[in-house]
Amino acid sequence: MKKGIALTILALLFAWQMISTFAIQRFPKPEFESGYITPETLLPSPRAEILEVLDVAVLLLALSVVTWAVLKRRSRNLVFWISVFSLAYFGFYREGCVCSIGAIQNVTMALFNGSYIIPWTVLVFFMAPLLFTLIFGRTFCAGVCPFGALQDLISWQPRTIGPRLNAVLGIIPYIYLGLAVLYAATGTDFIICRYDPFVGIFRLNATFGMFLFAGVLLLSGLFLARPYCRFLCPYGVLLNWVSRFSKYHLTITPSVCIQCRLCEDSCPYEAIEKPVTVKNPDSRKRMVRKFMLIVLLSPFFMLLGGWTGSHIHESLARVNGKVRMAEEILHPKRIAGQSETIEMTAFKASGKPAKELYAEVTGILREFYIGGWILGGFVGLTIGGLLAGRLITRYRTDFEPNRGTCFSCARCVDYCPVKTGTGSIEL
Amino acid sequence: MNRMKPSKQTIQLLNRIALISGIVAFILCILIIANYIQVKRIDPLNTPAMTVLLDRLKSNPGDDALRTEIRELDLLSRKAFFTSWWQIRTGGYILLACVLVIVICLKWIELIRPKIPPPPEPVKEDFWDQRKTRQRWIIYTGIFLVAGSLILAWLTYTEIGKTLYRQEIARQGTDSRQATDSLERGPDIELTINQLQRTGGQDSTPVTGTDSESDATQSGTTPGNADLEEQSNGPQQAFPSREEILSNAMTFRGPDANGVVNGKNFPVSWNGTTGTNVRWKTAIPLSGNNSPIVWKNRVFLTGASTTKREVYCIDAGTGKILWQTDVSAIPGTPSTAPKVDRETGLAAPTMTTDGQRTYAIFATGDLVALDMEGKLAWGKNLGLPKNHYGYSSSLIMYRNLLIVQWDQAEGASVKAFDGTTGKLIWNTPRDVKLSWASPILVNTGNRMELILSADPCVVSYDPASGKELWRVDCIYGEVGPSLAYAGGYVFVTNEYARLAAIKLGNPPQIAWESTDYLSDIPSPVASDDYLFLVTSYGVVVCHNAKTGEEYWVKELDNSVYSSPVLVDGLVYLLDKTGIMHIFKAGKVYQPVGEATLGEGSVCTPAFAGGRIFIRGEKNLYCIGN
Ligand code: SF4
């Protein structure tokens, strides 16, 4: 029966997207003959400053309250309700925008494009969760991020996926982050926003492909807790790095771990580090040698990655509209019955000489060529870093959350029988 | 135990509510999808009934009752459409409510279920083993990423960088053509224009033993055009003499298909509406965008509909249709006409003749030869051209050979058929993209060359054997305009690519190029001193033919699809509304006359015997003083 319900939800998601995609206007603008004056197209006015201040205030408040709920109250219930509020406010009311994840692109753009001035609210949305994480761990993920909240809500029968899949999927966020930065730096696109699977749900409007993506993510979210946060979120990469240095990170037990093992399987995100007591069968000398080898090989990984990236730079550049247009002109592949793209019609109508476009595209390709090297180098470095990271061992006797991957959701806290403050046990 | 009971019952109840919501939602889901598919399939404004009514209104625009009927039907369609939409939307909201109920039930169950499970059975997991597994899989992922990226790069490679890079080199001029850019795209693209030009490329496939005409034409001194053409015009082969070629209009765009026409004293004023200087006007039964050709006192052209293809012969003196032959039943012809662009049509290629037979080709790939009385001499289907706008390359004769530029999306070639028998004499594959241009014949001084243009190159062939003589990579895109030739220079152009002048020599070199004004349909025309380029949006540009210097630019009020013709020191240019712009072929723009046809036209006029033959949208006109 439960499986049936899960399938129903998937079917619902499909149906849901259809309703919204259907809202696309299919009728051409009527041609009036009776002197009717078509009103001018109005652009939505920007959000009032006061409401922007409100957004920032809500963000800071939510961050503070959830941090308090996680670290002081140690209450999963409270965290859950805060996340429901965040989902309602940042998700359905603010329709997923402004968001800290997308802010990466604004920050990148501001760094690479001198003429772009980043709105202060966006900057706060980018910085505040990072600062909170640096001090308190990823409490932002626990209860403020609407994407996390939505996935948390539908997480139903989470399963573990094992070290292999974890290793493979864990690299994706780094690549996504690299791509997002590349596209934002070259002024091509904000891919995090364009391919944001949840915004379509918040707005009840998206393309078929995006709804499909969202549907697949949510369906997998029934059995794989927070798939987006763990295996896609580019902001999560930054939070993961920062959280490792957090001073007051959540602990499973409020005082001492009594090794009861009750919390062992409590984390749906596989973020609990179990005690490591068995000695490494490899000698210390060997481990050091291995570590040194990986450190020495890292520049090679970077070079190999960069070389690969430089080879796919044209494919990467094709996301850029101008590159696609130049390609359409130079290598027309139109097939029977397919008319030219709107962009092409507009370009032709603009009367802009093709050589200007070519010159621009040559410049863009050059940027992507350099970007391809950097992106590949970054991925190479990431792989080197992950390999090296696996060689550093900290022996521990207690169950502890992994500071990088723990979302501070406080689920495991409920499983710990040790009582706050006194250290007494409540079973 | 007692405390547990209600909880169990509640769980059961919640499970049932979730199940019922799920079933309702599922049924709704199916209904919505079905409704969606149905509505998606119907185009509310283009129903067959509406199309019929609109067609009727077009032929009878004053019918108010019909107008009202259309409006009512339109309103009905819109109402039906929006009702379906409303149903889908409302169904969607109910669906959402069901999902919400399911989520609430499941969460509730989660809340009231006993929370903390007993500690799990200790599993013997080897921490160190797991760690090694992770490391191994990270390495596998890295390898996969490198391999995957390279495969992706290979699969999606479109040469755009290479092409733009070449353009950049080309822009740097023809003197210092070495690559200076350090884009580091690999050594293979460090090419110069010189390197891109190569002679002797693909070999032709002689289908039957051809004579050694090509050798004969390439040897000896530099005979005149007529000498070259007539050298092997032995007694057994009767094909037109150079004089006949020059005095008739046997091919699209003049004797050598390059827009230059012989003859003098052609009219410079007429009016198709009042009849001034119009000797006759004849309605052509089926439409076609091909131009008329003239042999002695006969004019030939073709027309086609989706079901029929016809060849017409018209008396040049009276305008009477002497014969019209239906050539729809050629063996191998497709049962349904290909889908083509309306602006190309099904009969875009212009015919040709050798004075004994006339030859025509259609968008269906049907190639036919008719004798001068309209009897089918032979006909064959070359296969349906893979051409999304519609096949449009015109035919050309070289002595007894009927030459077909068969550029298509896959398997492009140039073919020569024996005019008498229709037998394939040679067939040369072409590694080019689809094009819409027509071939030209050039007498370089020591040989005849058949020169063709299509993305990515201009290629010259020996017209007798089909052997490739040289090629210059210099053109891109969907090439529509044909080439121009004068004074040792071949001129090539295409929209979004470039205008380039190729100076013939060994090897041929790009002498100059420009990207200011480019054409996508009309072909350029050149004299020894000037090159006239016309854009389809109606701009005429005059360049110095040798240096490329832009002498003047004239903007016309209308767009132009037909190609300019240079005759007797004048350029005749017919715009789409049917106005012929006549101006001097000179360094400054000097209009000589402007004549109106009275109907629109996209065809290039034919000039012969002091008369001009213009095909309008519906009629063929003979203009003469
Ligand atoms: S707080 Fe506990 S349950 Fe939640 S993510 Fe961190 S380790 Fe996992």
Cis preceding linkage at A98, omega within 30? yes
Is residue A70 in contact with ligand 1, taking CB distance under 6 Å? no
Of A22, A168, A365, the CB nearest to B141: A168
Per DSSP, the residues of A71-102 read HTS--HHHHHHHHHHHIIIIIIITTT-S-HHH
A252 CA from centroid of ligand 1 (Å): 8
Do you know the residue count of chain B? 625
Amino acid identity at A316:
L
Is residue A238 in contact with ligand 1, taking CB distance under 6 Å? no
Of A22, A366, A415, the CB nearest to B85: A22
Per DSSP, the residues of A271-338 read -EEPPB-SPPSS-HHHHHHHHHHHHHHHHHHHHHHHHHHHHTHHHHHTTSHHHHHHHHHHS----TTP
B145 inside 8 A of chain A by CB: yes
Q: Could you tell me if residue B609 is inside a domain?
A: yes
Interatomic CA distance for residues A160 and A346, integer angstroms: 51
Burial class (CB in 10 A: 0-12, 13-18, 19+), B143: exposed
Interatomic CA distance for residues B429 and B406, integer angstroms: 9
Confidence category of residue B36, pLDDT binned at 50, 70, 90 = confident
Task: For residue B165, give every residue at least 6 positions away whose Cβ sits within 8 Å of its Cβ, in sequence order, or none.
Answer: A362, B179, B181, B183, B185, B189
Domain co-membership, B466 together with B544: yes
Q: Would you say residue A5 has pLDDT above 70?
A: no
Among B185, B216, B246, where does a domain finish? B185
| CATH label of the domain that carries residue B366 | 2.130.10.10
The angle subtended at Cα B265 by Cα B260 and Cα B269, nearest 5°, is: 95
Per DSSP, the residues of B561-599 read -SPPEEETTEEEEE-TTSEEEEEESSSS--EEEEEE-SS
> Is the CB of residue B232 less than 8 Å from the CB of residue B216?
yes
Interatomic CA distance for residues B538 and A17, integer angstroms: 47
Q: What are the tens digits of pLDDT across the range A355-379?
A: 788 888 989 999 999 999 999 999 9
Residue B134 and residue A383: Cβ atoms within 8 Å?
no
Interatomic CA distance for residues A66 and B432, integer angstroms: 65
- In this structure, the strands spanning B570-574 and B565-567 are antiparallel
A412 CA from centroid of ligand 1 (Å): 6
**Could you tell me which residues are beta bridge partners of residue B266?**
none
Q: Could you tell me if residue B347 is inside a domain?
A: yes
Q: What are the tens digits of pLDDT across the range B389-442?
A: 899 999 999 988 999 999 988 889 999 999 999 999 999 999 898 899 999 999
Domain co-membership, B174 together with B248: no
Is residue A409 in contact with ligand 1, taking CB distance under 6 Å? yes
Of A11, A26, A366, the CB nearest to B26: A11
- CA dihedral angle for residue B496, residue B582, residue B565, residue B605, rounded to 10 degrees: 110
- For residue B495, which residues of chain A lie inside 8 Å, CB to CB? 354
Domain co-membership, B181 together with B242: no
A388 inside 8 A of chain B by CB: no
Question: How many angstroms separate the Cα of B273 from the Cα of each of A309, B559, B596?
Answer: 66, 21, 8
Confidence category of residue A329, pLDDT binned at 50, 70, 90 = confident
Q: Could you tell me if residue B212 is inside a domain?
A: no
The pLDDT of residue B181 is: 34
Q: Which of B96-100, B142-146, B221-225, B228-232 shows the highest mean pLDDT? A: B142-146
The pLDDT of residue A158 is: 87
The pLDDT of residue B583 is: 95
> Is the CB of residue A379 less than 8 Å from the CB of residue A234?
no
> Is the CB of residue B314 less than 8 Å from the CB of residue B299?
yes
Confidence category of residue B171, pLDDT binned at 50, 70, 90 = low
Residue span of the structural domain in which B554 resides: 236-623
Question: How many angstroms separate the Cα of B215 from the Cα of each of B218, B275, B398, B441, B470?
Answer: 5, 52, 15, 17, 16
The pLDDT of residue A32 is: 59
Residue B167 and residue A331: Cβ atoms within 8 Å?
no
Q: Would you say residue B24 has pLDDT above 60?
A: yes
- Number of domains composing chain B: 2
User: Which long-range contacts does B240-243 make (Cβ < 8 Å, 24+ apart)?
Assistant: B240/B354, B240/B355
The pLDDT of residue B216 is: 32
Domain co-membership, B180 together with B247: no
Q: Would you say residue A21 has pLDDT above 50?
A: no
B283 inside 8 A of chain A by CB: no
Q: Could you tell me if residue B209 is inside a domain?
A: no
Whether the ipTM is more than 0.95: the answer is: no
A402 inside 8 A of chain B by CB: no
Domain co-membership, B154 together with B23: yes
B171 inside 8 A of chain A by CB: yes
The two tokens of residue B325 are: 């032959």
Among B185, B205, B224, where does a domain finish? B185
User: Which long-range contacts does B526-530 make (Cβ < 8 Å, 24+ apart)?
Assistant: B526/B258, B526/B259, B526/B260, B526/B484, B526/B485, B526/B486, B526/B487, B526/B489, B526/B491, B526/B566, B527/B260, B527/B486, B527/B487, B527/B566, B527/B585, B528/B486, B528/B487, B529/B487, B530/B585, B530/B586, B530/B587
Domain co-membership, B271 together with B408: yes
Interatomic CA distance for residues A311 and A29, integer angstroms: 45
The pLDDT of residue B87 is: 86
Confidence category of residue B164, pLDDT binned at 50, 70, 90 = confident
Interatomic CA distance for residues B464 and B469, integer angstroms: 12
Domain co-membership, B98 together with B245: no
Nearest Cα residue to A261 out of A252, A249, A251: A252
**Residue A171 burial (CB count, 10 A):** 20
Burial class (CB in 10 A: 0-12, 13-18, 19+), A407: buried
Q: Would you say residue B156 has pLDDT above 80?
A: no
Nearest Cα residue to B166 out of B557, B505, B473: B473
Nearest Cα residue to A230 out of A105, B130, A220: A220
**Could you tell me which residues are beta bridge partners of residue A206?**
none
Q: What are the tens digits of pLDDT across the range A298-324?
A: 999 999 999 999 999 989 998 998 888
Residues 52-91 of A with CB under 8 A from B: none
Please give the average per-residue pLDDT across A165-185, as a whole number: 95
Interatomic CA distance for residues A263 and A272, integer angstroms: 8
A366 inside 8 A of chain B by CB: yes
Residues 254-313 of A with CB under 8 A from B: 260-262, 264-265, 274, 276, 278, 280-282, 301, 304-305, 308-312
Domain co-membership, B155 together with B256: no
Residue A19 and residue B133: Cβ atoms within 8 Å?
no
Q: Would you say residue A14 has pLDDT above 80?
A: no
Residue A154 and residue B103: Cβ atoms within 8 Å?
yes
Cis preceding linkage at B206, omega within 30? no
Q: What are the tens digits of pLDDT across the range B125-137?
A: 677 888 888 889 9
Domain co-membership, B174 together with B289: no
The pLDDT of residue A215 is: 79
Return the percentage of chain B with pLDDT > 70, whole number: 85
The pLDDT of residue B179 is: 32
Domain co-membership, B158 together with B274: no
Domain co-membership, B178 together with B240: no
Q: Could you tell me if residue B354 is inside a domain?
A: yes
For A364, the closest chain B residue by CA position comes to B161
The pLDDT of residue A43 is: 74
The pLDDT of residue A15 is: 54
Residue B156 C-alpha, separation from nearest chain A C-alpha, in angstroms: 6
Residue nearest to atom 2 of ligand 1 (CA): A412
Eight-state DSSP code of residue B75: H
